[in-house]
Amino acid sequence: MACTWRIRHKLMLGLSLVVAIMALLLGGTLWGLTSYRSAMSTCESKLKELELAGKVREKILRLPGPYADADLPQRARLIQAQIPKIEEALHDYDLKLKETLDRNRAPDGGKDEQDHVKLLAKALTKLQNDLLRADTDPTFAPGGDQIDILDERSPVKIGIRNLETEVNDLIGKITFVLDSRIAVTKQEARKSIMLLITTGILAILVMTGLLRFFYRWVAQPIRDLEQGVSRVARGDFQHQIEIHSGDEIEDLARSYNEMTQKLRAMYENLAQQVNERSRQLVRSERLAGVGFLAAGVAHEINNPLASIAFSSEALESRLAVLLQTARVGVEEKDTIVKYLKMIQEEAFRCKEITQKLLAYSRGGERTRERTDLVEVIQGVLDMVKHLQSGQGKKIDFRPTGPLFAWVNGQEIKQVFLNLVINALENMDDGGQVVITARISDGQVEVFFKDTGCGMTPDVLENIFEPFFTRSRTGKGTGLGLSITHRIISSHGGDIEAASEGPGTGSTFRVRLPIEPPAQTAETGQEVQDPVEEFLKLSSAKRNVKAA
């Protein structure tokens, strides 16, 4: 059996995978955007710093301007007048640097830039002091010689070169940081792209897998269930829905299969009941026809038979007198008497047959009482042990105690006798009939199992039909089992025949009620079969007419 994964577990797994993939995609995207935004912010700040540092450098480069017409003190004052502008530009840069640091936009912490700012401020202070000395002391120069303040040996010129060097270093540092940040940003961008590509491919694979598993776990079982339900709806109760999804759909399919099996059993039972009721109806119609025929035949034959019997008796009396006076030999006399006796016997035998036919058509009054079926069976066995058909065959009946049923003893004895004789006639020498009796579901069950020739399905289907016979002796009329079935049915019981095929023997099961049948609420009389009542009335009318 498949692993028990309920639908909610599968949905949670699929949702978890989708959420994980979406989280990876979102995380990669956010990481890329954050890196890009940080890089842009850093570049923006550094570009602004670079712009301000360029202004500082521009102002520093203007210090040795065209002062050829001015004397030395005047040149010093002119250069000194540019110092505040440089300090202002440097101050603007310092503010921007602090803003960059406050916003965490300096990848290296900004320590080098701060050092350069301090060095520039220190160099400006020194340059300003040198300019003051040059303004007040015309001989300010190495060795005490009076030289131009812009001479390469002049402290002012050296200070200006120091400023240029520091500002160039500052610009170089800013450029280096900017280039480094751009390089890092490119590397992070490549990583972000690779992450997005990898996550995208993984998302495609996961979604493909989820779609496949969704089809296998949900869509296909639902489709199979729908197809199976459609087949059952079209009447195919043999179809079983095979689903191995391990979830509620499989449970539903299993429950539906159980329901289908119950429906199939109910359908087969109903079909069997309809078939049985139809056959009973046909059998009842045939029995009614047989009853009408029997009553008519008995009525029409009884009168001629009575005349034949009366005439033969009268003829016998007269011939007795005539034969005493006539010269007839003893042999001829015996022959005449023999033939007259034969006519009388056959006439009375025909009358007995017609009486049986009338009894069959009427059904007879059935007085029922609590009867021990074991005694009935023993009586039947005592009757058949002297029959010719029972010679060389064995009957096995081992009762464990009395079994009482609400029946008419004589009719049930006729039923059991008919079943035993049929079994004996259809067995070869050495055959065996096993009779067993028991109580089951409030009824007495009696089984007659023989080792005879068995029956085909066609014979089993028509075994209780009137005039249907497959007797090996060829003497049967086909009414024995039909009458047996009628008697058992009139008692509120049932009889069934079973056989696995020719040569395998047969089994008859007779079920009879232990208690009396239901009675009507108003009269308290037993509920009679309408066909039997009809046959009774018809027979009664014919008897009245015959009288």
Contact partners, residue 96, CB within 8 Å, separation at least 6: 45, 48, 49, 52
Strands 507-513 and 443-450: antiparallel
Average pLDDT over residues 480-508: 88
Among 189-203, 245-259, 470-484, whose mean pLDDT is lowest?
A: 470-484
- Confidence bin at 544 (pLDDT 50/70/90): very low
- Confidence bin at 310 (pLDDT 50/70/90): confident
* Residue percentage of the chain with pLDDT more than 90: 10
* Cβ-count burial 24-52 (b if 16+ within 10 Å, e if not): bbeebeeebeebeebbeebbebbebbbeb
Render pLDDT for 216-234 as a digit per residue (tens, 0 to 9).
777 788 888 888 888 888 8
- Please indicate whether residue 357 or residue 17 has the higher confidence score (pLDDT): 17
Residue 546 scores a pLDDT above 50: no
Joined together, the tokens standing for residue 543 give 């008897």
Among 70-74, 212-216, 536-540, whose mean pLDDT is lowest?
A: 536-540
Most confident segment among 290-299, 345-354, 356-365:
345-354
Render pLDDT for 501-520 as a digit per residue (tens, 0 to 9).
888 999 999 999 998 866 43
Residue 424 scores a pLDDT above 80: yes
Contact partners, residue 525, CB within 8 Å, separation at least 6: 519
Phi-psi region of 87 (alpha: psi -120 to 50; beta: other; left: phi over 0): alpha
pTM above 0.85, yes or no: no
DSSP 198: H
At residue 291, the pLDDT reads: 66
- Please indicate whether residue 301 or residue 402 has the higher confidence score (pLDDT): 402
- Confidence bin at 443 (pLDDT 50/70/90): very high
Name the residue type at position 461: E
Which position has the token pair 């320590």?
111
Q: What is the rounded CA–CA span in Å between residue 299 and residue 102?
A: 134
Render pLDDT for 32-81 as a digit per residue (tens, 0 to 9).
788 777 778 778 887 887 888 888 888 888 777 666 555 666 777 777 77
Q: What angle do CA 212, 216, 218 make, to 5 degrees?
A: 110
- Confidence bin at 437 (pLDDT 50/70/90): very high
Q: What is the rounded CA–CA span in Å between residue 296 and residue 545?
A: 11
Average pLDDT over residues 136-151: 56
Render pLDDT for 78-134 as a digit per residue (tens, 0 to 9).
777 788 888 888 888 888 888 878 877 777 777 778 887 888 888 888 877 777 776
- Please indicate whether residue 35 or residue 454 has the higher confidence score (pLDDT): 454
Q: What is the rounded CA–CA span in Å between residue 366 and residue 355?
A: 17
Q: What is the rounded CA–CA span in Å between residue 102 and residue 365?
A: 122
Average pLDDT over residues 358-382: 79
Name the residue type at position 132: L
Residue 314 scores a pLDDT above 70: yes
Contact call for residues 397 and 365 (beta carbons, < 8 A): no
